[in-house]
Amino acid sequence: MDINLKGKRALVCGSTQGIGKATALELAELGAHITLIARDENKLKEVLDELPLKDGQKHHYICADFDQPDYLKSTINAYMIKEGDVHILINNTGGPAGGKAMDAQLTEFTSAFNRHLICNQILTQAVVSSMKRMGYGRIVNVISTSVKAPIQGLGVSNTIRGAVANWSKTLSIELGSFGITVNNVLPGATDTVRLRSIISSKAQKTGQSEEDVEKAMKSEIPANRFAEASETAAAIAFLCSPAAGYINGINLPVDGGRLGCL
């Protein structure tokens, strides 16, 4: 099975922590040149130093805030002129704040739409020409299991994640003939800083202990545990590999079996 990414260039968004960082490390282990994208330059430099270097790998970073789409666009376009070809794009950014859809302000929807769908579109438009030219492209969007079954208390996120999933499916149809695949990975409960924040917030709202909240969450998962970020990264990395060339337009849950639907 060919999962070798030597000579491939990968852009990995949200790559200073959690699933994004784990994905950058995994792709680098498979031989890819990595360009990290996030907003905290100090953290970007720290992760850059952790990436393995072998067989002439060269890693870079782009400091950009997804709340500023115009700046992201100018930055990625300048990067493409300077660095050239990109084979892999991992679209990944933190989810919107919790709350009911009916209680959300309009700005919460527009902000999340810009951060997730518009920025994904900007990055994809920037790299797709090089993918077409090379006849090899892998676009993986890290979304949420909410695209299959909405999650209570995440009204804005459910809405925007669903839009991203349909955007992705549309692109998979448009780009498939060029050797470009577009897929979504849907993480379940993954042991990240964000999950710990959700547990803490729920404990404060309900008066439960964080241990009880965590236990209840795990009881809903057949695997009876949270995922490690590296496990989600492994699924993403496979979809980026030559071996996954005929997998296109799917939603892949990595959730320990929690989803009740197919």
Instruction: State pLDDT tens for residues 99-131.
Output: 899 999 999 999 999 999 999 999 999 999 999
- What per-residue confidence (pLDDT) applies to 84? 84
Reported as a single tens digit per residue, the pLDDT across 8-30 is 999 999 999 999 999 999 999 99
- What per-residue confidence (pLDDT) applies to 95? 84
| Matching residue, tokens 């299991």 | 145
Closest by Cα among 261, 192, 200, 194 to 226: 192
Q: Residue 240: CB partners within 8 Å, gap ≥ 6?
A: 5, 8, 10, 27, 32, 88, 90, 138, 140
* pLDDT tier, 205 (very low <50, low <70, confident <90, very high otherwise): confident
Give residue 152's identity as a one-letter amino acid code: Q
> Which 8-state DSSP code applies to residue 101?
G
- Tell me the pLDDT of the chain averaged across its residues: 95
Reported as a single tens digit per residue, the pLDDT across 142-175 is 999 999 999 888 999 999 999 999 999 999 999 9
Higher pLDDT, 55 or 78: 78
| In the predicted structure, residue 222 carries a pLDDT above the cut 90 | yes
- What per-residue confidence (pLDDT) applies to 123? 98
| In the predicted structure, residue 202 carries a pLDDT above the cut 90 | no
Counting DSSP H helices and E strands in the chain, the numbers are 9, 7
CATH 3.20.20.70 for domain 9-188+228-254, yes or no, is no
> Could you tell me which residues are beta bridge partners of residue 137?
180
| In the predicted structure, residue 98 carries a pLDDT above the cut 90 | no
The stretch 174-180 carries a mean pLDDT of: 98
